[in-house]
Structure 1
């Protein structure tokens, strides 16, 4: 079972948000970039503040685009040919919890280390790349299959505030990379038409990368956030648990000994007694007045 974060650690936030898919972004991109930068991938940025990360062989490219043309804050593409069209693409909008993007980039870093057979692995039913494996973590946490139109497989969270869709049939590859009309769509909010956040993935996105995201979404552990940054719609739907101030560490045996010693009364100095020798004479009386 996943444990709740220990409030004694340094946590950036004043409340825990549960379920975690009702949390918003942390507003910091560094944690999601770290798995790729840790492999030595190339980091560049433009004058607007957008960040671009490339694999050394240019087989994978990531854009962190706070000044992009739309709300697609994170865009990740992989290529069979660095000069050809993307083999697959994924997008996370600007309010997606950063932890979900971090799950994706962590899995991507691992897959890229394994080679093209991993980071370009196409979903295939009945194999280790079966698309169902991307949905399984959600179903294991009580998400239910939701009736939709023919050709769309959808699951929804128990509270109805998050869902995932898989669209069958032929799709336009370019449209999948530039709009929400992609093979996969994950979202949270009051409806899929007006999501608080969303993530999309095109047809050939490896299942292992998708499963890493859904495992993070399905994790029952809450996420720390600042109360003022939480979505307004989650009031009454999400559980906000105050993060307690750090507790003092348990005293060690040496601490106990020192405390006990500090409570003992200080020893009184020995009385000053004039010592007389056998040859000493009694003091002479002083002169009378």
Structure 2
């Protein structure tokens, strides 16, 4: 759907695929799975909001003014260096970040205090485990990847994952998931260091392939991406032309108004619409079996159903 001057920039749309929706400008969706964890506002510093697991081993930072908007890491204890780190840039939809934060919340809730936490387990020796949700969704291998790396791309060629299988240090970024055309405001990127547990990368990949659209205000959809997505209004535009009345609508309206006139003044037999409306009304008839025998009121009230109008 092209952007036009008649579009309301604040109107909400369903954007599909979600990995091209961009950032909504808020962090709500990404923090939703861990909203019950301790959190602290950091003021105007680089990290503006910090959420941690109750024991401090998982740390989720939101850097509201940086290129790398999200930095998420886990350590063996609250004061140790991070074992692994994941970052998401400022274009990445928060709904995809929620794939990782949701998996961390589940891992923490299921952690046995006498066993190693699942969010600190070793990376699988099979690189395919980390991106299996992508291949299961029909993403395919790109033969143009560098030697020692593997790249998988989406059917629309607008998203992919790059896995670096070469020897690396513990803090090297070995997996990158991306979406959107190259550019500062159009390319979403998520990166994971070499010791990130494979199931956490897979949870992020699963959020990439989730068919559910993301909700965005119209002005947040980048012009360079709008031709690549499907935009569906959340609400019909207020400027939509009203439906013209049908002949049946006109007749119902005329009868209703005639009855209203009759209720305000004396009944006259010359008003054919009033006579027809009264004849169709249900007035008890004297002497009929099962009906009370009494004289009809002078001007009994008549109720007709109000014509339904489609909007």
TM-score above 0.5: yes
1:140 and 2:141 are equivalent in the alignment:
no
Query: In the TM superposition, what whole-angstrom CA distance separates every residue of 1:195-244 from its partner, at most 9, and x where no partner exists?
Result: 62111111111222111111111122322222221122123222222334
Query: In the TM superposition, what whole-angstrom CA distance separates every residue of 1:131-183 from its partner, at most 9, and x where no partner exists?
Result: 32221211222211012111111101122111101111232444x3xxxxx11
Asked if 1 retains the 8 angstrom alpha-carbon contact of 2:11 and 2:233, the reply is: no
Q: 1:193 to 1:34 in 2, by over 3 A?
A: closer
Query: C-alpha separation between the residues in 2 aligned to 1:85 and 1:193?
Result: 30
SS in 1 for 2:85: strand
Query: In the TM superposition, what whole-angstrom CA distance separates every residue of 1:64-120 from its partner, at most 9, and x where no partner exists?
Result: 1104xx311111110024333211111111121110111211110011122233110
Paired position in structure 1 for 2:219: 228
Query: C-alpha separation between the residues in 1 aligned to 2:176 and 2:11?
Result: 28
Paired position in structure 2 for 1:102: 98
Paired position in structure 1 for 2:30: 32
Query: C-alpha separation between the residues in 1 aligned to 2:44 and 2:282?
Result: 68
* Structure 1 residue 30 displacement after superposition: 2.3
Q: 1:192 to 1:86 in 2, by over 3 A?
A: farther
Q: Which has the higher contact order (CA 8 A, sep 6+)?
A: 1
1:102-251 superposed matches below 5 A: 102-115=98-111, 116-125=116-125, 130-147=126-143, 148-174=145-171, 176=172, 182-191=173-182, 196-245=187-236
SS in 1 for 2:68: coil
Paired position in structure 2 for 1:48: 44
Query: C-alpha separation between the residues in 1 aligned to 2:218 and 2:183?
Result: 24
SS in 2 for 1:33: helix
Asked if 2 retains the 8 angstrom alpha-carbon contact of 1:45 and 1:51, the reply is: yes
Say what the alpha-carbon RMSD is for the aligned residues.
2.8
* Structure 1 residue 265 displacement after superposition: 5.1
Query: C-alpha separation between the residues in 2 aligned to 1:212 and 1:197?
Result: 17
Q: 1:121 to 1:233 in 2, by over 3 A?
A: same
Q: 1:37 to 1:266 in 2, by over 3 A?
A: same
Unaligned runs of 5+ in 1: 1-11, 177-181, 247-262, 273-289
Unaligned runs of 5+ in 2: 1-9, 238-276, 284-294, 300-311
